[in-house]
Amino acid sequence: MEADQADTIPVRRDTAVLAGNFGVGKTSLFHRLTGTAPGTNRGSAVLRLQNGTRIQLMDTCDMERFENKSLTVSYYRDAACVLLVADASDARSVQSLQNWRDSAGFYAPRAQMILVFNKGDSPDADGILLSSIESYQQRLGCCYSVVTSTKTGQGIDLLRDRIGAACRQFRRNTLQLPDQHRSFQLQREPSRQSSTAATDDAPQKSRCGC
């Protein structure tokens, strides 16, 4: 192959997706992370890492409001990284993370999970929740956990770095897989009704290897 031809081959970007209850701050994080202006959300934008790497970030565009928390296969398809977002001032949004995690694990079984407690600036932020973030991280099988605030910028740079690291890990894991395991395989869908699951003490196995 000619060198100039090789230069024009598009490199497939890794995709990261946001998941979590309505109102936890996913869209605000989407704008913060991508530098796009609020109100211009088309559901997908490029997140640039410091080293120049580009990652495609997807927002639900409020789908979660109308689809009974069930995001579609196409939303999760090919996701390298899922951001499980909760509101640090709303314990119910933290309880719901297990359902989001189950859906994400079903539709994107190889994706790396990152736990995000947003609204860290809120005067109502729950100190007990915040101090237990690592335990939630383990329980949900996430590689990383980050406390953020889209109001103050707390944790946003760290989160960007973590997304980059998670995508790199996804690539490493995928390269190690035999071919027949790389493609999406349909399994039984997890029950979305298991509201007690978030309190289950058994930690889920992290796929990150980090």
Ligand X SMILES: Nc1nc2c(ncn2[C@@H]2O[C@H](COP(=O)(O)OP(=O)(O)O)[C@@H](O)[C@H]2O)c(=O)[nH]1
Secondary structure E strands in the chain: 14-19, 44-48, 54-58, 79-87, 112-118, 144-147
Both structure tokens of 56: 């495609």
Nearer CB in complex with ligand X: 56/118: 118
Q: Can residue 93 be called a binding residue for Mg ion (CB under 5 A)?
A: no
Least spacing, CB of residue 118 vs Mg ion, in Å:
12
Least spacing, CB of residue 155 vs ligand X, in Å:
9
Residues that bind ligand X (CB under 6 A): 22-28, 118-119, 121-122, 149-151
Cβ-based burial of 156 (10 A; exposed 0-12, middle 13-18, buried ≥19): middle
Secondary structure E strands in 64-165: 79-87, 112-118, 144-147
32 binds, among ligand X, Mg ion, none (CB under 5 to 8 A by kind): none
Q: Can residue 169 be called a binding residue for Mg ion (CB under 5 A)?
A: no
Least spacing, CB of residue 121 vs Mg ion, in Å:
18
Distance from C-alpha of 69 to C-alpha of 20, rounded to nearest angstrom: 8
23 binds, among ligand X, Mg ion, none (CB under 5 to 8 A by kind): ligand X
